[in-house]
Chains A and B, each alone.
Chain A
Amino acid sequence: MTMKLPLSAKFNVRFRWIYLHSLLVGLAVVSFSMTNPIICDLFERVINSHQNKIKLSSGSRHGELLGHHGWIYALAISPNSNTLISGGFDKSIKFWNLSRVVKALNSKSTESLPKSQQILEGSIQDAHNTAVSAIAINPKKPVFATAGWDNRIKFWDLDNKDLVHTIEGAHVDDINAIAFTPDGDGLLSAGLDNVVHLWHAATGVLLQKFVSNSPIHALAVTPNGKLLVAGQENGQVSIWNLHTGKLLTPLAAHQHKVSSVAISPDGEIIASSGADKTIKLWQTDKNVLKEEILITTVACMLAFSPDGKLIASGNEDGTIKVWRVADGRLLHTWVNHKNVVWTVAFSPDGKALVAGSQDKKISIWPIQ
């Protein structure tokens, strides 16, 4: 005759080890993490992402575009402000009629905004083998470039959306940022392999290499095409002379990773944001700190308005903030996204601010 154990005893036997092991592993993880800055940073992100879920609603009338099936990492707006291009984790590139949304947002009538499907003008599925991490539009020609975690850079025709050419193995690691030179002849790319490459945009020939001492997360070029600015993982902002290839200034800008850099339209101010939860405005010619803005979260992306008076930040807590450049005063905080806002861009006509988020939504905010 066999004796049956009561259910509670069975439970004890089966799950005692789970409990004890979880406890031990938990203790080990906590004690390790308390001494490890990388893990601390990771936990901070976890808490931030949790807080994001609590935030709700928005303050003003805005448009929303739905269509991506993955996190949105990159946005770019055509020079005539008509077309918005978006890309992200779902490997696709989508084309949206931005001017139509902005027109509807600015109209005084209370009619509902057009639906995302009506705004979507086209899509390229599987544009890259992995996530599309950066998009840039050539300021002089109807061409745009995309970069992905597949280490490729692709050039596309903006009118017919055809692939023009591909730079295979442009970097040996993930590409984080690309930017066209103001004359449209060159394309700069940077990534985790500590290198900025200058490519001939039409042929894909490598023209120059700028070697950094840390992975690069952000990139910008001054409007006169003379300076290249790169934001690095070690907190430095490096400034190179684009023509000579000489490193001019390695600014010890932030305590932690530089997540974004932007240059004002007149080229006089460099803005940088870092994982230390600051946005810093630097005078380009003197490399002097002009303004330091403390924010309660990490600004993932910065963008100057076309008139250079405003700077917008897409933030880790899901907010979009707009600051006045002259005195660093916060003008607007828009809360619409449930998760990190990875990218923001002003339309070149200055009528709208566009943001792309981890919640797979693009939001469009009219600028008065």
Chain B
Amino acid sequence: MTSTQIANILGCLALIAYALTLMPGIFRVVVPSITHKQALKEFFKPAMRQQLGIASFVLAVGHAVPIAMHRRFQILNPETYVFYFHGALGLAILAALAITSNRWSQRTLKKDWKKLHNLTYLAMFVLTWHVISAMWGKWNRLTVAMIELMLVTIGLFLLRKAIEYTRKSGKKAAV
């Protein structure tokens, strides 16, 4: 297995970890019954979400560094970030989320913490764009699987938003 292939597998694992961080929030709204399952209790704890977020960032770094080195990217050249905007933005978001994934940040930032962590939903689209763009023309089974994963995640997220919107409008109408 080549180093780029290993880097790509790390990228896939980063995506899986990232998608898992979104699932508790989605399931709570879309399939609320699942949250009471004893077997999944740990999964729905905020600590698990934090750990998955940090793991996602670490794996993403493991994905980005070898590729940047093989492809001879220059870190101080602004064009690197223009040409690889999706990858750089995705990594920056994951970094911001990982760094603030702790109670101290949560307590210090209060409402701003929530605002900051809304970036996780932007990352969903940015990372999908990154996978499609970076692998364009040389798709393999893993690429297809990752795109499917991201599209399913986006679909579930939109469903969650639709349900929340319906509930909100229902409450307003009741008032």
Closest Cβ neighbor of A41 among chain B residues:
B69
User: Closest Cβ of chain B: how far from A30's Cβ, in Å?
Assistant: 15
> A residues 280-294 with Cβ under 8 Å of B?
none
Identify the stretch in A43-51, A57-65, A105-113 within 8 Å (CB) of chain B at 4 or more residues. Answer: A43-51
Inter-subunit contact B2/A17 (CB<8 Å): no
- A45-B74, A340-B74, A358-B74 known; A21-B105 Cβ under 8 A: yes
- A46-B74, A192-B4 known; A17-B137 Cβ under 8 A: no
- A21-B99, A215-B2 known; A174-B70 Cβ under 8 A: yes
Count of B interface residues, CB-CB < 8 Å: 26
A-B pairs with lowest CB-CB distance, top 7: A129-B137, A49-B74, A150-B137, A173-B2, A17-B108, A173-B4, A49-B76
User: Closest Cβ of chain B: how far from A127's Cβ, in Å?
Assistant: 11
Assess whether A346 is interfacial by the CB under 8 Å rule.
Answer: no
Assess whether A130 is interfacial by the CB under 8 Å rule.
Answer: yes
State in angstroms the CA–CA spacing of A172 and B109 once bound together: 46
Inter-subunit contact A25/B3 (CB<8 Å): no
B5's partner among A13, A21, A71, A173 (CB-CB below 8 A) is: A173
Which A residues touch B109, using CB under 8 A? 14, 17
A-binding residues in B (CB < 8 A): 2-5, 65, 68-72, 74-77, 79, 83, 99-100, 104-105, 108-109, 112, 136-138
User: Closest Cβ of chain A: how far from B68's Cβ, in Å?
Assistant: 8
Assess whether A232 is interfacial by the CB under 8 Å rule.
Answer: no
User: Closest Cβ of chain B: how far from A231's Cβ, in Å?
Assistant: 14
Which B residues touch A129, using CB under 8 A? 136-138
**Of listed B74, B75, B100, residue having the most chain A CB within 10 A:** B74
Inter-subunit contact A21/B74 (CB<8 Å): no
User: Closest Cβ of chain B: how far from A260's Cβ, in Å?
Assistant: 12
Contacts beyond the supplied A17-B104, A131-B71: 20 A-B pairs with Cβ under 8 Å: A14-B109, A16-B108, A17-B109, A21-B99, A45-B75, A46-B75, A49-B75, A49-B76, A50-B76, A128-B137, A152-B137, A169-B138, A172-B5, A173-B4, A192-B2, A192-B4, A192-B70, A193-B2, A339-B74, A358-B77
Count of A interface residues, CB-CB < 8 Å: 37
Which A residues touch B65, using CB under 8 A? 38-39, 42
Closest Cβ neighbor of A17 among chain B residues:
B108
Inter-subunit contact B3/A192 (CB<8 Å): yes
Assess whether A89 is interfacial by the CB under 8 Å rule.
Answer: yes
A-B contact count (CB 8 A): 72
Inter-subunit contact B83/A38 (CB<8 Å): no
Which A residues touch B77, using CB under 8 A? 49, 339, 358
Which A residues touch B79, using CB under 8 A? 71
State in angstroms the CA–CA spacing of A129 and B74 once bound together: 22
Q: Is the interface of A mostly helix, strand, loop or mixed?
A: loop
B83's partner among A17, A89, A128, A192 (CB-CB below 8 A) is: A89
User: Closest Cβ of chain B: how far from A343's Cβ, in Å?
Assistant: 12
User: Closest Cβ of chain B: how far from A330's Cβ, in Å?
Assistant: 25
Inter-subunit contact A17/B105 (CB<8 Å): yes
Closest Cβ neighbor of A89 among chain B residues:
B83
Inter-subunit contact A25/B75 (CB<8 Å): no
Inter-subunit contact A13/B108 (CB<8 Å): yes
User: Closest Cβ of chain A: how far from B175's Cβ, in Å?
Assistant: 27
Assess whether A70 is interfacial by the CB under 8 Å rule.
Answer: yes
State in angstroms the CA–CA spacing of A222 and B74 once bound together: 33
Closest Cβ neighbor of A133 among chain B residues:
B71
Assess whether A194 is interfacial by the CB under 8 Å rule.
Answer: yes
User: Closest Cβ of chain B: how far from A49's Cβ, in Å?
Assistant: 4
State in angstroms the CA–CA spacing of A89 and B112 once bound together: 39
User: Closest Cβ of chain A: how far from B78's Cβ, in Å?
Assistant: 11
> Could you list 5 A-B pairs, sorted by A, with CB under 8 Å?
A42-B75, A46-B76, A172-B5, A174-B71, A194-B2
Which A residues touch B4, using CB under 8 A? 173-174, 192
A163-183 interface bits toward B, Cβ cutoff 8 Å, 1 = contact, 0 = none? 000000100111000000000
Which B residues touch A39, using CB under 8 A? 65
Which A residues touch B5, using CB under 8 A? 172-173
User: Closest Cβ of chain B: how far from A358's Cβ, in Å?
Assistant: 7
Inter-subunit contact A21/B112 (CB<8 Å): no
State in angstroms the CA–CA spacing of A237 and B149 once bound together: 42
> A residues 168-218 with Cβ under 8 Å of B?
169, 172-174, 192-194, 215
User: Closest Cβ of chain B: how far from A240's Cβ, in Å?
Assistant: 20
Which B residues touch A152, using CB under 8 A? 137
Assess whether A365 is interfacial by the CB under 8 Å rule.
Answer: no
